[in-house]
Chain A
């Protein structure tokens, strides 16, 4: 019976022990720490010294593993272990669905991809590489329509970018990176230190303004009204002919309605200066976030009309699979990804690269 298979099936792959042998939950002993998801490739010493990898019985597989980056090891390992020399049957497809869910892709996205596999390849013998290539293609197809850069309208003077998100996603750092980018393009840029709540948030942006050569509109005292600050900053920026005005906001959980109302107020107030502002509303998402990113996107979009997303911290072990779910559900443009702490570590979002990175290809 299918459900039993799902939990007890032993993949016939020659690879370690990936998804079977679940670790006993109540037992914090070493077995739990090493068992289910400790894919061999995630061992740094091995990954950085390919020569140390013992010869695999299947030569191509060893080579493939060398090419995998450490950070995507988990997903690729389990996909690989599922499909090497394996018939694509119901049980295999169910495992594939679970594997995609485990990569934070979310249930609808995982189901859609699995459905496509069922349609085109059911009952065929497939290899790991084929599955990965095909999965990457499916994911890239979902992501391609949303890979849209953030275009600054040079006629606006200033083009107002409002940056929002929950606490700790990297709003301030993203603003700093954007500021650097626009400065490099020869645009004049001003930061608005709208996070008047968190301790030292203003000082943080101030340091970035000095480093990137951007202007800074800072509140006169902690806890000052961010809307008022933005109003003054926009008025001044219009007078000065600034090209881009980047408004930082305090991080807020999307389920705190009072804080979300405060954000709506900020939008209302800056519309008094320029009815078309903000021209872009950038929602900053942390790649380590799981399915909650769907709720974040939903509520922030309802409240302040998010026009695009930035995904940060993609240099870590989390690969931001939830972006696939977001693309399916909201079709909001993903403008950029953050891959480090330096001002230059902001890249345009490339659907194909992202999809292949998710699958551990190249």
Chain B
């Protein structure tokens, strides 16, 4: 277990650490099933042994005990007596059953109504109430939601902080609102949370805001006075969404918190924050199972645009180390200029990709967010990603590379082969880097060109089968095929 923990600890953003548990779990299960490989149906003893590992892994992942029991029972019922499919190992088959049960437990599967994200189907001004424990990330999430509603949904957003307890909390939301370019309710010192909420709704009605985000103070689920306070705010403003913000690192207490807020305030959805950490995120399973409230959004970074929709199937895939290619494609399509991308793709296929195109591509990647975040969505690049994180890859490198290319002449960009010692020296001086950095970039560009040739050879079919990992040199490939 230790090496995989270590590996997990250094992976970049969006790894949604549970994946590492399940990578380890797949390994353990392989051990259990090694001796009975290809032997007809799964019998009860085999399954029981495998489930012991499943149970321990789920508990270590902070999934609450009753939820673990239920999940394990479900997997056992489905696994026993199943024909072992010839093409996969029994271990892979059990992992698949675990995956399916996981998707269901997270709100996916057959009962999935397909409703995702925030429900904005109500007359304006639509109040959204943010609740949760101290330090779970309510204020940051409020800023992120405000930004998303303004940019993606084209809403006129007003935010108001009802946190009169923590010093400078109102100021924090005001600054975030400025960054998100939405209005923040002017702070009047000495007002009670209820008064602030009423004032916010009043302003929103008069000034025709679409959405009002009410950020509340962090409170303990067992603090009856503060719970009553937020319940009063809820009664007065009748929020269309009451979002419980929970830290992905939360342990077994997640169920207590979720249930207390559900009982005393009532929540319509859950936002999980810090999924860019390496916590195993068992809290997601626990809270969903206990409250029945859907997980609506994921916070995956400190920047204001680091907010994602929750997708049970995708998250379960990511949990099982299969990557999240759909999210990547969506993110890419949101940020990348379509025409530009098509031009690039055409060039790539013809093998005419040059450094100027590379610079353009760097710009677009920069727009998508951190490299490690993007890599986290690719299937089968777990190990590679850890290496990248170790190498301290971040957007700064992209900026530096763009600067290097910027110091080249158009001719050099078209035909990098002509760049020899003296040109390298000039480019390095022009972009404020060393000759080694220039060399590194040229080497990287060479590798990329080589990769593109392989990609063309592999064709579309190969891409589908091997995922992007198929493109990488064998030494860099992440832990084996998905399944």
Contacts and interface: CB of A to CB of B under 8 A. Distances in A.
B44 to A, nearest CB: 9
Interface residues of A, number: 72
Interface string B36-64: 00000000000010011000100111101
Contacts of B9: 254-255, 295, 298-299
B256 A74 contact: yes
Given A170-B135, A317-B256, A23 B278 contact: no
A255 B12 contact: yes
A8 B51 CA distance: 14
A257 interface: yes
A134 interface: no
B251 A289 contact: yes
Interface stretch (B146-154, B257-265, B319-327, B443-451): B257-265
B330 interface: no
Interface stretch (B85-93, B207-215, B287-295, B403-411): B287-295
Nearest to A197: B302
Contacts of B139: 199
A54 B173 CA distance: 48
Contact of B390 (A19, A257, A341): A257
A199 to B, nearest CB: 4
A207 interface: yes
B221 to A, nearest CB: 6
B255 interface: yes
B11 A255 contact: yes
A38 to B, nearest CB: 8
Contacts of A71: 222
Contact of A102 (B11, B64, B176, B291): B64
Contacts of A330: none
A291 B280 contact: yes
A256 B385 CA distance: 12
Interface string A56-85: 000000000000001100100000000000
Contacts of A217: none
A88 B293 CA distance: 39
B62 A290 contact: yes
Contact of A107 (B59, B72, B220, B247): B59
Most central of B5, B15, B302 by chain A CB within 10 Å: B302
Contacts of A261: 392
Contacts of B255: 37
B335 interface: no
Interface string B277-291: 111101100000111
B437 interface: no
Contacts of A102: 59, 64-65, 252
Given A7-B73, A25-B105, A200 B62 contact: no
B220 A315 contact: yes
A42 to B, nearest CB: 8
7 contacts: A199-B175, A199-B179, A255-B15, A292-B62, A317-B253, A317-B257, A322-B251
Given A33-B292, A37-B65, A253-B274, 18 more contacts: A3-B48, A7-B73, A24-B70, A25-B70, A25-B104, A25-B289, A70-B222, A107-B59, A168-B135, A204-B168, A255-B12, A288-B247, A288-B253, A289-B247, A289-B250, A292-B278, A317-B253, A318-B253
